[in-house]
Amino acid sequence: MKSLSIKDIAKTARVSNSTVSRALRNSPLVNRETGDLIRRIAEDAGYRPSAAARSLVTRRTHTIGVVVTTISDPFVADVVSGIEDAAEAQGFSVFLANSHAEPAREKRVVRSFEERRVDGIIVTSSRVGSLHVSMLSRMEVPIVLLNNQHDNEAAHSVMIDNRGGSFAATQHLASHGHRRIGYIGDRGGYQSDAERLSGYQAALEAAGIEFDPALVVRGDGRPEGAREALGQLLSLADAPTGVFCYNDMSALGAMHEAGKRGLRIPEDLSLVGFDDLYISQYLNPPLTTVRQPMTGMGRMATETLLRLIAREPAPPVVTVHGELIVRESVCAPRTARARSARARSAG
């Protein structure tokens, strides 16, 4: 039951291998009728050219490797979805590999990609440590980084405008009258954390609020870490009335913790996230957050990668801007509300 080769088709069509090869790729070099005949025969026989054999001679695999820390992260999953869509649309297949941020695993992944001769690589939100350096030096395939966590001049990248997004988020809080605004970051030491913090500080400054280091605490980018972080914030003598979270997962954790402590969102505590995960709109209350166009970013990354593969020019870094999505997790702080209520009754 061996799968048939080009020779089999050639034989039944009574032509040479080359003609079949050409016919199947619709080469103009082959006579219309012969071509049609050959294609019909191939189709009927269910012939499928061997990608391996083909790429052996063309030196192109039409394959891209995608490294993610973990596909279980909804942010990553969406990005990968966009990557796959864009790749598929251009006839490329994607190898997906979890690195789980384990150096050993990263090594194996890179080696595997090398052996498979992927035409290009996309690395998603990696701390890009050991992995990246070794990769760049050995492989000569194009690489694009998506929301990478380290500056890297050597590779192309697409990234979210962290600073702008967090500025908008913090400003939103300030514009509702919050003066004590906390920031729950990610202790991973990521560049995105630093940038979001900086946007937060900038917004504070713009609103004339003095920056208080006690108001910035770190979680781990996931609900659990954020719960603890929020705890720290809440134990402050002068606790914040609004908190900007590094990402929606952190906001989810904060929301959960607040609920546990009997605090209502947003009446007792306003919350803003970052990402706009699919679920965020269904939270109670729906989360106000900064939207990252995740699948779009995946698509962009793929497009610049494909461009690079085709040796076409591509922008070294494309920055995409987040959009503040206002929902219901922010309102004026209690004090301000009390004040305006007083004003109202007085008036």
The secondary structure of residue 69, as a DSSP letter, is S
Of a second copy, DNA, none, which one sits near residue 93, judging by CB under 5 to 8 A according to partner kind?
A: a second copy
**Residue 7 contacts residue 38 (beta carbons within 8 Å):** no
Work out whether 262 is an interface residue with a second copy (CB under 8 A): no
First vs last C-alpha separation in the chain: 90
Specify the stretch interacting with DNA by CB under 7 A; choose among 23-31, 155-163, 271-279, 306-314: 23-31
**Residue 139 contacts residue 115 (beta carbons within 8 Å):** no
Among 19, 125, 162, 292, binds DNA (CB under 7 A): 19
Specify the stretch interacting with DNA by CB under 7 A; choose among 47-55, 118-126, 198-206, 234-242: 47-55
Beta carbon of residue 163, minimum distance to a second copy (angstroms, whole number): 27
Q: What is the dihedral of CA 295, 72, 193, 263, to 10 degrees?
A: 110
According to CB under 7 A, which residues from 49 to 78 bind DNA? 49-50, 53-54, 56-59
Helix (H) or strand (E) segment spanning residue 11: helix 6-13
**Residue 297 contacts residue 79 (beta carbons within 8 Å):** yes
Which lies closer to a second copy via its Cβ, residue 48 or residue 339?
48
Which lies closer to a second copy via its Cβ, residue 2 or residue 32?
2
- Cα–Cα dist 210/200, whole Å: 12
Cis peptide leading into 285, omega within 30 of 0? yes
Which lies closer to DNA via its Cβ, residue 12 or residue 98?
12
65 DSSP β-pair partners = 95, 121
Which lies closer to DNA via its Cβ, residue 116 or residue 334?
116
Work out whether 49 is an interface residue with a second copy (CB under 8 A): yes
Work out whether 142 is an interface residue with a second copy (CB under 8 A): no
Work out whether 111 is an interface residue with a second copy (CB under 8 A): yes
Among 16, 26, 130, 175, binds DNA (CB under 7 A): 16
Other Cβ atoms less than 10 A from the Cβ of 295: the count is 18
Work out whether 115 is an interface residue with a second copy (CB under 8 A): yes
Which lies closer to a second copy via its Cβ, residue 62 or residue 150?
62
Query: Nearest 5°: CA angle at 293, between 160 and 203?
Result: 45
Work out whether 26 is an interface residue with a second copy (CB under 8 A): no
According to CB under 7 A, which residues from 183 to 242 bind DNA? none
> 163-202 mask for a second copy (x: CB under 8 A)?
----------------------------------------
Among 17, 31, 175, 284, binds a second copy (CB under 8 A): 284
The secondary structure of residue 286, as a DSSP letter, is P
Token duo for residue 190: 């990521």
**Residue 91 contacts residue 25 (beta carbons within 8 Å):** no
Residue 225's Cα: distance from chain center in Å?
21
Cβ partners under 8 Å of residue 4, min gap 6: 45, 47
- Cα–Cα dist 216/239, whole Å: 11
289: left (phi over 0), alpha (psi -120 to 50) or beta: beta
Which residues contact a second copy (rule: CB under 8 A)?
1, 3, 46, 48-53, 55-56, 61, 66, 70-72, 74, 77-78, 80-81, 84-85, 88, 93-98, 105, 108-109, 111-112, 114-117, 138, 140, 223, 252-253, 255-256, 259, 278-279, 282-286, 295
Which residues contact DNA (rule: CB under 7 A)?
2-3, 5-7, 14-19, 21-22, 24-25, 28-32, 34-35, 47-50, 53-54, 56-59
